Amino acid sequence: MALMDDYEELIGANIRRLREASGLSQAALAKLMNERGWTKWSQPTVAAIEKGERSLKFAEAMTLVNTEIFDVPRVEELLRVPRVDIWWATMANLATSVDAVKGAVRDFWSAQLRAARASDELLAAGEEIPEPDEMWLAGCDIAEIIAELDIRLGWELSRGIHETALIEGPLRPHLRSDLGKRQDGTPADSAE
């Protein structure tokens, strides 16, 4: 849907909302507009505007507001997005963000498990695990991020599979000693 169509539908929905709040039928609104000089307004005109099928002229909008057909302080009220629509859009954005975080955490866990398996294979073959460089260690700060999510969101993200890979796995000697701790220094598995 084109942006202009979105505006027409938004204006139409607001006209319908304001008309209904004023206790007017579509025919009664058309009659009031006729009395104010808009002689081509009829019930089908109002219906078309409310469906977003007909544009509302700016002068028509000013008549609706300035002659107090509707109890609104400014013409901008006709462009107002209902708060519930804003709430739903915000919730959709939040759900998308949560899904992205879950996906990123799953990807990180998978990478940690692959690293643990590769380390197990090295050890099983009698080889030593090479010392990781500083850049690789920087990637381990994800545990700090997960711990912060645990604290802020009350989730138990630090439980489960990645604990095995991060804290009990063969990479343990190479990871920071505070990995299983929250920001305040308490163990991640302690009760609050």
pLDDT, mean of residues 73-82? 81
Q: Is residue 179 assigned to a domain?
A: no
Q: Is residue 187 part of a domain?
A: no
The last residue of one of the domains, among 80, 112, 133, is: 80
- φ/ψ bin of 38: left (φ > 0), alpha (ψ from -120 to 50), beta (otherwise): beta
Which pLDDT score is estimated for 34? 95
Closest by alpha carbon to 17, among 71, 74, 95?
A: 71
Q: Do 51 and 16 share a structural domain? A: yes
Within a domain: residue 191?
no
Give dist(CA 54, CA 31) in Å, integer: 18
Tens of pLDDT, residue by residue over 1-32, are 444 568 888 899 999 989 998 999 999 999 99
Let me know if 144 is exposed, middle or buried by CB neighbors in 10 A (0-12, 13-18, 19+): middle
- For residue 184, tell me if it sits in a domain: no
Percent of the chain whose predicted confidence (pLDDT) is above 70: 65
Residue 101 lies in a domain: yes
Same-domain status, 94 and 165: yes
Q: Are residues 55 and 125 in the same domain?
A: no
Regarding whether 96 and 27 lie in a shared domain, the answer is no
For residue 19, being part of any structural domain is answered with: yes
Kindly state the tokens that stand for 48.
Answer: 């078309």
Domain containing 110 equals 84-174
Examine the domain organization and report whether 52 and 90 are in the same domain. no
In a domain, 13, yes or no: yes
Residues 128 and 140 both lie in one domain: yes
Q: Structurally, how many domains does the chain consist of? A: 2
Domain-located, residue 129 = yes
Same domain for 62 and 142? Answer: no
CA dihedral 41, 45, 51, 54 (to 10 degrees): -90
Same domain, 54 and 96: no
Question: 69 and 112: one domain?
Answer: no
Q: What pLDDT, on a 0 to 100 scale, did the predictor assign at position 184?
A: 55
User: Is there a single domain that holds both residue 101 and residue 132?
Assistant: yes
- Residue 134 and residue 170 in contact, taking contact as beta carbons nearer than 8 Å: no
Does residue 88 sit in the same domain as residue 12? no
The residues, any chain, with a CB within 8 Å of residue 21's CB and separated by 6 or more, are 70, 71
36 and 21 part of one domain: yes
Structure tokens at 136: 């690789």
Summarised one tens digit per residue, pLDDT across range 89-114 is: 788 888 888 888 888 888 877 887 88
Q: Which of 50, 80, 110 is the last residue of a domain?
A: 80
107-158 confidence digits (pLDDT tens): 877 887 888 888 888 889 998 877 665 445 445 565 666 666 666 555 444 4
Residue 95 confidence (pLDDT): 84
Euclidean distance between the first and the last CA atom of the chain, given in angstroms as a whole number: 50
